[in-house]
Amino acid sequence: MAFTAECSLQSIAPYSSGRHYTTPEKLPKESADAYDKRTWRERMHYDEQGMVFIPNMAFKWMMTDISKFLGNKIPGKRNATYGKHFESGILVLEGMPLGIDRMDVIGETLFVPADGKHGSGSRVDRIFPLIPEWKGKVTFYILDRVITREVFEEHLTEAGRFMGLGRWRPQRGGTYGRFKVNDVRWSED
């Protein structure tokens, strides 16, 4: 028997993604700067219709990471924590649609390390997608009964504050991707 949690989330900070991409290919004699200006929207996740979404695994790993960060102990289980239960006991099968066309997303130009590694020497301008306000619904499937409704909701709320989603989220030293939980519809399958 599993539980389903349909969660309604709303931004308290912008969302930005930094998906790795290798296509489209560079045009002949195209500079790296011109390539970035032409292709920066490829850093977003979007469906066949060009609608932006936050990928399912971003939610899965966010919840696993917050469970380890909080380190809450399971009552009656001595020093056992929820970490392994969140890692193997929840599923997120679909991403969260944002209802935004990728062509309507604005770009944010940042001076970042050329190799993508924090603290490295060479820096270049890169454009990243920026969604100032966002909201949507995502469904979690809780397969592990150790994760109660109260435990799940506490972890989701704290994940919105301390972990976030996307590029430059708090977990990585930034401020983007934070959210509040508007509603959780809990049901038993």
pLDDT digits (tens, 9 = 90+) for 53-83: 999 999 999 999 999 999 999 998 999 999 9
Instruction: State the number of CA atoms in the 13 A half-sphere of 30 facing the CB.
Output: 13
Query: Over the stretch 134-153, which tens digit does the pLDDT of each residue have?
Result: 999 999 999 999 999 999 99
Distance CA 155, CA 164 (A): 12
Distance CA 24, CA 26 (A): 7
What would the mean pLDDT of 71-96 be, rounded to a whole number?
95
Angle at CA of residue 159, ends 75 and 165, nearest 5° = 150
Distance CA 144, CA 152 (A): 11
- What percent of the chain has a predicted confidence (pLDDT) above 90? 80
CB-CB contact of 108 with 130 (8 Å):
yes
Q: Is the pLDDT of residue 118 over 80?
A: no
Mean pLDDT of all residues in the chain?
A: 94
Check residue 119 and give its pLDDT: 73
Distance CA 83, CA 88 (A): 9
Distance CA 43, CA 88 (A): 28
Check residue 94 and give its pLDDT: 97
Angle at CA of residue 177, ends 180 and 89, nearest 5° = 70
Lowest mean pLDDT among 110-119, 126-135, 173-182: 110-119
Largest CA distance in the chain: 65
Check residue 14 and give its pLDDT: 98
Peptide bond into 170 cis (omega under 30): no
Residue at token pair 């619904």: 137
- pLDDT interval class at 24 (50, 70, 90): confident
CATH 3.30.70 assigned to domain 3-18+29-188? The reply is yes
Check residue 138 and give its pLDDT: 98
Q: Is the pLDDT of residue 122 over 70?
A: yes
Check residue 1 and give its pLDDT: 63
Check residue 73 and give its pLDDT: 94
What would the mean pLDDT of 81-93 be, rounded to a whole number?
96
